[in-house]
Structure 1
Amino acid sequence: MITFSVRGLRKSYGGVPAVREMDLDLRPGEILALIGPNGAGKSTCFNMMTGQVVPDAGSIRLFGRELIGLKPRQIWRLGVGRTFQITATFASLTVLENLQLALISHHHRIRALLARAGSLYRDEALALLRLVGMEPQADRPCSILAYGDLKRVELALALTNDPKLLLMDEPTAGMAPRERIELMRLVARIVGERNICMLFTEHDMDVVFAHATSIMVLNRGRLVTRGSPGEVRDNAEVQAIYLGSGAVYDADAVKGVA
């Protein structure tokens, strides 16, 4: 069953194509990496999928429902979770309070902010923090968290709407190598356990080839290829325009890194 589908997606700025005729399908449990050099159109794709940018043409559907024309908050409430390159949390609030606010919004309880917001969805928020390994830091302000911990909080926030599609924009940017491995292992486990689909962008090729079930390569808004990590790794055009001529990545070796 296809969860998420894109057909004929196009976007230009000032006559310069940013994305050209993109098609893709995602099924439950699939982890698709969208890679390409700077300016390839990856962020534009993400922003169109979440309603922040309106496409010039094409279709974006979640379980057959058209998303183009909907506002970002409407798309989020339909089950599209997202993380950003730069973490976005309320620094002055605690980790737990950040989760509670997101859950209040998801459950359409915004008016509760005027009264008893601190008591709402506490158990649900703690369960999500437990899932990402952040429950012991629930009462700490986000302003004093280490960057790697903020990334885990953001992952928990992306799960507050019980997503069927998870979009992660460079999830390991700015993290130490071991933190990257641990975070992506956690994400892959959650995707599998919850049977959701995931699309992510990433510049760290070790992360991409270790965790993606399939990879799409963009260059100047054009789809170069889509295939398994092995197929993409061995594609001569990909090596020439992105990975560097002669670059070889061994996914099995990367998965073994501890």
Structure 2
Amino acid sequence: MTDILRVENLKKSYDGFLAVNGVSFAVQQGELKALIGPNGAGKSTCFNMLMGQLKPTAGQVFFDGENVTGQRPREIWRKGVGRTFQITGTYQSMTVIENVQMSLISHHRKLFSVLPRAWKLYRDEAFEFLETVSMADQADRPCSILAYGDLKRLELAIALTHRPRLLLMDEPTAGMAPSARIALMQLVADIVQDQGVSVLFTEHDMDVVFAHAHHIMVLNRGELIADGSAAQVRNNPQVQEVYLGGGTLFKEAQDA
């Protein structure tokens, strides 16, 4: 398979402290890959360098074979990289479908020329994205009254509007009930399978990770200590020791 994302010796330092220290990995086209680790391991810092919010101290990021290191977030977004965040950022005063329409208007570069008639534009296309995340029946509801899980699904629909080839999802199930977490990640897995989108996601819920990720990477203190299948990660002594304090949760996951 082809690498859609390749990271080489990525580092980020703050006043001599290495938040990310020599991280290298690849994500293949059509792969659903998890990046896990304890709080402070460097996951969000790594994500912010991939998407251009932070400039690396050293190392390189390649998207589809092109060096995108240090490019601005919008430039990377235009090339086909999407992102969702831990905290949703929808327009609460707008309806569900209007949020998706606004993203489509931005994608089509018409943000400043069509505002008086924006509510009419790309409505059918917006419905299609809402159908993808099973929210078409809530299209005309205000975002301000949505359940948190529905806001997460809406954010996913918005991220898909420019048809990314790679989607970065930072804690996609944070703040959700356990059943809603599994449902959202099953939806993501279906999108990966049906559309061939690659997804790299960070996550603390091990049930979500082991149920859906094709491969798993583990960060600890800014360094990548494991990268492999669920079984390989579960059985890695270093992961068991530093991430899960002896591997209790890994063993529970195996026994479930």
Aligned to 1:173: 174
In structure 2, distance between residues paired with 1:88 and 1:66:
29
Matched position secondary structure for 2:112: helix
In structure 2, distance between residues paired with 1:21 and 1:246:
25
Query: How has the CA–CA distance of structure 1 residues 249 and 74 changed in structure 2, closer, same or farther, with 3 Å as cutoff?
Result: farther
In structure 2, distance between residues paired with 1:167 and 1:44:
13
After TM superposition, give the deviation of residue 253 of structure 1 in Å.
7.3
In structure 2, distance between residues paired with 1:46 and 1:154:
17
In structure 2, distance between residues paired with 1:193 and 1:236:
35
Matched position secondary structure for 1:191: helix
Structure 2 counterpart of 1:130, one-letter code: E
Backbone CA RMSD of aligned residues: 1.4
Instruction: Kindly indicate whether the alpha-carbon contact (under 8 Å) linking 1:206 and 1:249 is maintained by their aligned counterparts in 2.
Output: no
Count of residue pairs the alignment pairs up: 254
In structure 1, distance between residues paired with 2:17 and 2:247:
31
Per-residue CA deviations over 1:135-183 (Å, capped at 9, x if unaligned) read 1111111111000100100110110110100111111111111111111
Report 1:45-194 matches (<5 A): 45-194=46-195
In structure 2, distance between residues paired with 1:199 and 1:234:
22
Per-residue CA deviations over 1:113-137 (Å, capped at 9, x if unaligned) read 4332111111111100011011111
Structure 2 counterpart of 1:204, one-letter code: D
Aligned to 2:206: 205
* Structure 1: segments with no counterpart, 5+ residues: none
Matched position secondary structure for 2:11: strand
TM-score (norm 2): 0.96
Matched position secondary structure for 2:55: coil
Query: How has the CA–CA distance of structure 1 residues 157 and 212 changed in structure 2, closer, same or farther, with 3 Å as cutoff?
Result: same
In structure 2, distance between residues paired with 1:209 and 1:83:
21
After TM superposition, give the deviation of residue 57 of structure 1 in Å.
1.1
Using the TM superposition, name which of 57-66 and 96-105 deviates more: 57-66
In structure 1, distance between residues paired with 2:252 and 2:209:
11
Matched position secondary structure for 2:243: helix
Aligned to 1:234: 235
In structure 1, distance between residues paired with 2:209 and 2:252:
11
In structure 2, distance between residues paired with 1:113 and 1:13:
43
Aligned to 2:226: 225
Aligned to 2:4: 3
In structure 2, distance between residues paired with 1:167 and 1:253:
30
Using the TM superposition, name which of 228-237 and 69-78 deviates more: 69-78
